[in-house]
Homo-oligomer: A and B are copies of this chain.
Amino acid sequence: MTDFPIVGLDTPVLEAARLLADQDLPGLIVVDADGLPFTILPGTQVLRLAVPGYCQDDPALARVVDEAHADLFLRAIDGRTVREAMPKRQRELPVTDLDATVLELAALMARTHSPLVAIVAGGRLHGAVTLQALLDRVVQA
């Protein structure tokens, strides 16, 4: 388990994207007002916010947009907050406690398709376990 940067629901998406990029994170822990995990947001879903709606499901449209307009990206996320990147349906969250076994963490990551599990105990967020850290532990054992 390691400390893990967190973002709030009102964190600007641009700041969240920079955090992902700068620290090579597999995703983000989004906390609520009490500092507890509201959701775990995989990197690909942060990206989703930067893709204009009209390109979302249409590869042909996304292709027509000039490569030079990578700054479209920055404009698209300008002023948007993490709240808008929330998945519509809340599924099982990759959150567990300090007693989780290696096997339990692996099963949770596999089941939720999340390379990141938040550790909560005693009413507070203790940190996170990443897929990389777990793999390092088990395959180098």
What is the interface of chain A, defined by CB distance below 8 A to chain B?
Answer: 14, 17-18, 20-21, 24, 26, 42-45, 47-48, 50-52, 55-57, 59, 62-63, 65-67, 69-74, 96, 99-104, 106-115, 131-132, 134-141
Copies of this chain, complex-wide, total 2
B17 A63 Cβ-Cβ under 8 A: no
Give the residue name and chain of the B residue nearest to A64 (CB). B101
Closest to A46 in B: B135
Q: Main SS of the interface on chain A?
A: helix
Query: Contacts A21-B139, A74-B138: A47 and B110 contacting too (C-beta < 8 A)?
Result: yes
18 A-B Cβ contacts within 8 A? A17-B135, A17-B138, A17-B139, A20-B131, A24-B24, A43-B115, A44-B112, A44-B113, A47-B135, A59-B107, A62-B104, A62-B106, A63-B99, A63-B100, A63-B104, A65-B101, A70-B102, A73-B102
Kindly list the 4 A-B residue pairs having the minimum CB-CB distance in the complex, ordered from nearest: A48-B110, A62-B104, A21-B135, A73-B138
